[in-house]
């Protein structure tokens, strides 16, 4: 029972951060981009693109995400692919590769 309560608290904290990010809170987006929580990282990437965040802190951590080896997969691809797409869409680094998943992320412009 105690463990369930702890998990609920963690989920509540994650949701609060996601809500702040959805409101365009740049500070929370920057803090979440290199989180241990995949949910926070993914939301930070997508919302960072949506709000056009290009601060040095965000860009540096976004680059770290592209280089991170992952075992967790999101919608069939590593989160790092999403980060590569975000760097392209923000004009930080053009993607010239041929990975079809990254190209699809770029084509849809992360407009969800």
What average pLDDT score do residues 45-69 get? 94
pLDDT digit string, tens, across residues 6-22: 888 988 999 999 999 99
Evaluate the CA torsion angle 90, 64, 99, 97 in order and state its sign.
positive
Angle at 111 between CA 8 and CA 74, to 5 degrees: 50
The contacts of residue 30 (CB under 8 Å, 6+ apart) are 44, 53, 55, 57, 58, 61
Higher-pLDDT residue of 86, 68 = 86
Tokens of 69: 């080896």
The pTM of the full predicted model, rounded to 2 decimals, is 0.87
Judged against a pLDDT cut of 80, whether residue 75 lies above it is answered with no
Angle at 73 between CA 58 and CA 89, to 5 degrees: 40
Looking at the structure of the chain, the number of domains it has is: 1
Task: Please tell me the distance from the alpha carbon of residue 106 to that of residue 1, in angstroms, as a whole number.
Answer: 44
Nearest by Cα to 44 from 57, 63, 31? 31
What average pLDDT score do residues 44-68 get? 95
pLDDT digit string, tens, across residues 26-43: 999 999 999 989 899 999
Structural domain that includes position 95: 2-108
């Amino acid at each position: 029972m105690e463990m369930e309560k702890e998990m609920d608290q963690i989920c509540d904290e994650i949701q609060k951060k996601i809500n702040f990010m959805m409101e365009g809170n740049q500070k929370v987006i920057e803090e979440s981009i290199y989180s241990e929580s995949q949910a926070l990282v993914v939301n930070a990437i997508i919302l960072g693109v949506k709000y056009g965040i290009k601060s040095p802190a965000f860009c540096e951590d976004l680059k770290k995400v592209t280089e991170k080896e992952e075992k967790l997969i999101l919608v069939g691809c590593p989160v790092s692919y999403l980060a590569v797409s975000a760097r392209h869409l923000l004009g930080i680094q053009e993607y010239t590769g041929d990975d079809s998943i990254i190209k699809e992320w770029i084509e849809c412009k992360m407009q969800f």
